[in-house]
Amino acid sequence: MTSSETPTDRPARGPGTSPPPSRILAPWILAVAVVPPGWLYILRTVRWHLTSSAVMLMICWAAIVVVGYFAIRMALSAASEDDASWFVVGRRSDELEREKRSLLKAIKEIEFDRDVGKLSAADAAVLMTSYRARAIEVIKTIEVEAGSAVTVREQILAEVRARMAVDAKVKKKTKKAPVSAPVSAPVSAPVSAPDSVSAPAPASDTDSVSSAPESSS
Amino acid sequence: MDSSVPSSPVAVVGTIIVLIAYLVAALGAGAGIVGNARKDPRLVRASVYGLYTFLGLVLLASGLLVYAFVTHDYTIKYVALTSDTSMSTAYKITAFWGALDGSLLFWVLVLAAFSSIAVASNLRRHKDMIGYVVGTILVVQLFFLTLLVFDKNPFGTYVTEPPKDGEGLNPLLQNYWMVIHPPCLYIGFVAATIPFAFAIAALASGRLDDLWLSSVRVWAIICFFFLSFGLILGGRWAYEELGWGGYWAWDPVENAGFIPWFTMTAFLHASLVQEQRGLLKAWNLVLVILTFFFTIFGTFMTRSGVVASVHAFGEDNALALQFIVFMIILLVVSFGLVLHRMPRLRQEGGFESFVSREFAFLLNNWVLLACAFFVLFVTMMPTITEAMWGERITIGPTFYNRWMTPLGLLLLFLAGAAPLLAWRRTTRERLQAQFVWPTAAAVVTVVLLAALVPAARKSTAILDDAFLLPIPLLNFGLIAFTFGSIVQEFVRGTIARKKQTGSDAVSSLIGLVLLKRRRYGGYIIHLAVAVMFIGFSGKAWDSMTDRTIQQPLAVVEGGEQLPLAEVPRAHVFQVKGYTFVYRRLVQTSDDNKVATTAYLQLYDRDRTPLALMHPARWSFRKGTEPTTEVDIHEGLDEDVYIILTGYDIDSGLANFRIYINPLINWVWIGFVMLAFGTFICLIPQRVVDLVSRRPASGAGKAADVGAVLLLVGALIAASVGVAHAQTPQTPGGEARPAEHEEEMVRARGHSDDAGWAHRYRPDSSLSAGIMKELVCLCGGCKRENLHDCKCGFAAQERKKVLALLAGHDLTTDAGRVAARRSVIGAFIREYGGEHVLVAPRSSATWLVPYLAVAGGLVLIYFVGRGLIKKGGPNPPAPNAAGATVDDAYDEKLDDELRDTD
Amino acid sequence: MTEPDPTTTSLAPGSPHPAPSRAASRGRAGSRAGSEGGLSTTVKVILSVAVLAVLVGFFRYTARGHTSHYKMVDEVMVGYGAWVGKPIKVHGYVEPGSIVERVVDQETVRTFILEHKGKRIQVRNTGPKPDSFKDKSEVVADGTIVEENGEPILVATNLMAKCPSKYQGAPKDKLFD
DSSP code string of C78-126: TTGGGGBTSEEEEEEEEPTT--EEEEETTEEEEEEEEEETTEEEEEEEE
Interface of C with B in 108-137 (CB under 8 A): 108, 126-129, 131
Helix H or strand E segment including B597:
strand B593-603
Q: Can you tell me the distance from the alpha carbon of B732 to that of A64, in angstroms, rounded to the nearest whole number? A: 47
**Nearest 5°: phi and psi at C121?**
-145, 140
Q: Can you tell me the distance from the alpha carbon of B364 to that of B370, in angstroms, rounded to the nearest whole number? A: 10
Q: Could you tell me which residues are beta bridge partners of residue B617?
A: B596, B628
Number of Cβ within a 10 Å radius of residue B548: 24
Q: Could you tell me which residues are beta bridge partners of residue B774?
A: B837
> Is the distance from CB of A162 to CB of A186 less than 8 angstroms?
no
Number of Cβ within a 10 Å radius of residue B383: 17
> Is the distance from CB of B414 to CB of B420 less than 8 angstroms?
no
The CA-based angle A145-A151-A154, given to 5 degrees, is: 65
pLDDT at A114: 80
| Pairing label, strands B468-469, B638-648 | unpaired
> Is the distance from CB of B21 to CB of B105 less than 8 angstroms?
no
* Same-domain check for residues A169 and A204: yes
The answer as to whether A3 is a domain residue is: no
Q: Under an 8 A CB cutoff, do A130 and C20 touch?
A: yes
The answer as to whether A114 is a domain residue is: yes
Three-state secondary-structure class, residue B472: helix
Whether the per-residue pLDDT at C55 is higher than 80: the answer is yes
Per-position b or e across B644-654, b if 16+ CB within 10 A of its CB: bbbbeeeebbb
> Is the distance from CB of A162 to CB of A23 less than 8 angstroms?
no
pLDDT at B811: 79
Those residues whose C-beta lies under 8 Å from the C-beta of residue B22, and which sit 6 or more positions away, are B142, B145, B146, B149
Q: Can you tell me the distance from the alpha carbon of C156 to that of B800, in angstroms, rounded to the nearest whole number? A: 61
> What one-letter code names the amino acid at A39?
W
| Pairing label, strands C100-104, B593-603 | unpaired
The answer as to whether A212 is a domain residue is: yes
Q: Do you know the residue count of chain B?
A: 901
Q: Does A169 touch chain B (CB under 8 A)?
A: no
Query: Which residue in A has a C-alpha nearest to residue C16's C-alpha?
Result: A123
Flag residues of chain A having pLDDT under 50: 1-17, 20-21, 89, 148-150, 176-217
The answer as to whether A25 is a domain residue is: yes
Q: Under an 8 A CB cutoff, do B430 and A119 touch?
A: yes
Nearest to B193 by CA among B109, B253, B129, B114: B114
Q: Can you tell me the distance from the alpha carbon of B79 to that of B72, in angstroms, rounded to the nearest whole number? A: 7
Q: How close is the nearest chain B Cα to the Cα of A90, in Å?
A: 10
Q: How close is the nearest chain B Cα to the Cα of C112, in Å?
A: 18
pLDDT at B389: 84
Those residues whose C-beta lies under 8 Å from the C-beta of residue B100, and which sit 6 or more positions away, are B152, B303, B313, C173, C175
User: How does DSSP classify residue C68?
Assistant: E
Those residues whose C-beta lies under 8 Å from the C-beta of residue A140, and which sit 6 or more positions away, are A180, B889
Q: Under an 8 A CB cutoff, do C7 and B253 touch?
A: no
**Mean pLDDT along residues C156-166:** 71
The CA-based angle A115-A121-A122, given to 5 degrees, is: 160
- ipTM for the assembly: 0.72
* Same-domain check for residues A27 and A73: yes
pLDDT at C13: 34
> What one-letter code names the amino acid at B802?
L
pLDDT at B311: 53
* Same-domain check for residues A98 and A140: yes
> Is the distance from CB of B317 to CB of B182 less than 8 angstroms?
no
Of C20 and B652, the one with more pLDDT? B652
Domain ranges for chain C, please list them: 20-63, 69-167
The answer as to whether A102 is a domain residue is: yes
Three-state secondary-structure class, residue B479: helix
Rg for chain C, CA atoms, rounded: 30
Q: Can you tell me the distance from the alpha carbon of B697 to that of B2, in angstroms, rounded to the nearest whole number? A: 54
- Expressed as residue numbers, the domain containing A53 is 21-80
**Nearest 5°: phi and psi at B644?**
-90, 105
Number of Cβ within a 10 Å radius of residue B242: 17
pLDDT at B603: 93
pLDDT at B883: 38
Q: Can you tell me the distance from the alpha carbon of B118 to that of B196, in angstroms, rounded to the nearest whole number? A: 12
Helix H or strand E segment including B3:
none
> What one-letter code names the amino acid at B546?
D
pLDDT at B497: 85
Cα B370–chain centre separation: 25
Q: Can you tell me the distance from the alpha carbon of B379 to that of B395, in angstroms, rounded to the nearest whole number? A: 8
> Is the distance from CB of B676 to CB of B521 less than 8 angstroms?
no
Those residues whose C-beta lies under 8 Å from the C-beta of residue C51, and which sit 6 or more positions away, are none
> Is the distance from CB of B159 to CB of B74 less than 8 angstroms?
no
> Is the distance from CB of C97 to CB of C108 less than 8 angstroms?
no
User: Where do the H-state alpha helices sit in B123-251?
Assistant: 130-150, 176-205, 211-237
pLDDT at B845: 44
pLDDT at B549: 92
**Partner residue facing C21 (CB), from A123, A127, A199:** A199
Q: How close is the nearest chain A Cα to the Cα of B161, in Å?
A: 24
For residue B774, which residues of chain A lie inside 8 Å, CB to CB? none
Q: Under an 8 A CB cutoff, do B70 and A57 touch?
A: no
pLDDT at B762: 81
pLDDT at B863: 53
pLDDT at C21: 35
For residue A106, which residues of chain B lie inside 8 Å, CB to CB? 276
Three-state secondary-structure class, residue C171: helix
- Along chain B (901 residues), what's the average pLDDT of each consecutive run of 10 residues? 61 92 95 92 93 96 92 87 82 84 92 95 89 96 91 83 77 74 91 96 89 90 95 91 88 93 96 86 94 94 74 68 93 95 80 86 94 93 85 88 94 94 83 92 95 88 86 95 96 87 83 88 96 94 92 85 87 93 92 89 92 92 80 94 92 93 95 94 81 51 55 60 45 35 38 62 81 72 72 79 81 81 79 63 47 62 49 32 56 72 52
Q: Under an 8 A CB cutoff, do A78 and B42 touch?
A: yes
* Same-domain check for residues A142 and A152: no
Q: Which tens digit of pLDDT belongs to each residue from B58-110?
A: 999 999 999 999 888 888 888 888 888 877 888 888 888 888 888 899 999 99
Q: Can you tell me the distance from the alpha carbon of B149 to that of A85, in angstroms, rounded to the nearest whole number? A: 39
Q: Under an 8 A CB cutoff, do C17 and A123 touch?
A: yes
Of C30 and B477, the one with more pLDDT? B477
Q: Which tens digit of pLDDT belongs to each residue from B781-793?
A: 656 778 877 777 7
For residue A199, which residues of chain C lie inside 8 Å, CB to CB? 20-21, 24
A73: burial class by Cβ within 10 Å (0-12, 13-18, 19+)? Answer: buried
Rg for chain A, CA atoms, rounded: 27
Whether the per-residue pLDDT at C25 is higher than 90: the answer is no
Rg for chain B, CA atoms, rounded: 31
For chain A, report the end-to-end CA distance as a whole number of angstroms.
Answer: 6
Q: Does C67 touch chain B (CB under 8 A)?
A: yes
pTM for this one? 0.75
* Same-domain check for residues A101 and A138: yes
* Same-domain check for residues A154 and A214: yes
Q: Under an 8 A CB cutoff, do B348 and A196 touch?
A: yes
Report how many domains make up chain A. 3
Q: Can you tell me the distance from the alpha carbon of B391 to that of B59, in angstroms, rounded to the nearest whole number? A: 46
Was domain C69-167 assigned CATH 2.40.50.140? yes
**Partner residue facing A49 (CB), from B89, B496, B839:** B839
Q: Can you tell me the distance from the alpha carbon of B215 to that of B133, in angstroms, rounded to the nearest whole number? A: 12
Chains B, C: CB contacts under 8 A, how many?
Answer: 177
Q: Could you tell me which residues are beta bridge partners of residue B585?
A: B598
Q: Under an 8 A CB cutoff, do C175 and B286 touch?
A: no
pLDDT at C38: 57
Whether the per-residue pLDDT at C119 is higher than 80: the answer is yes
> Is the distance from CB of B392 to CB of B386 less than 8 angstroms?
yes
pLDDT at B717: 63
> Is the distance from CB of B392 to CB of C69 less than 8 angstroms?
yes
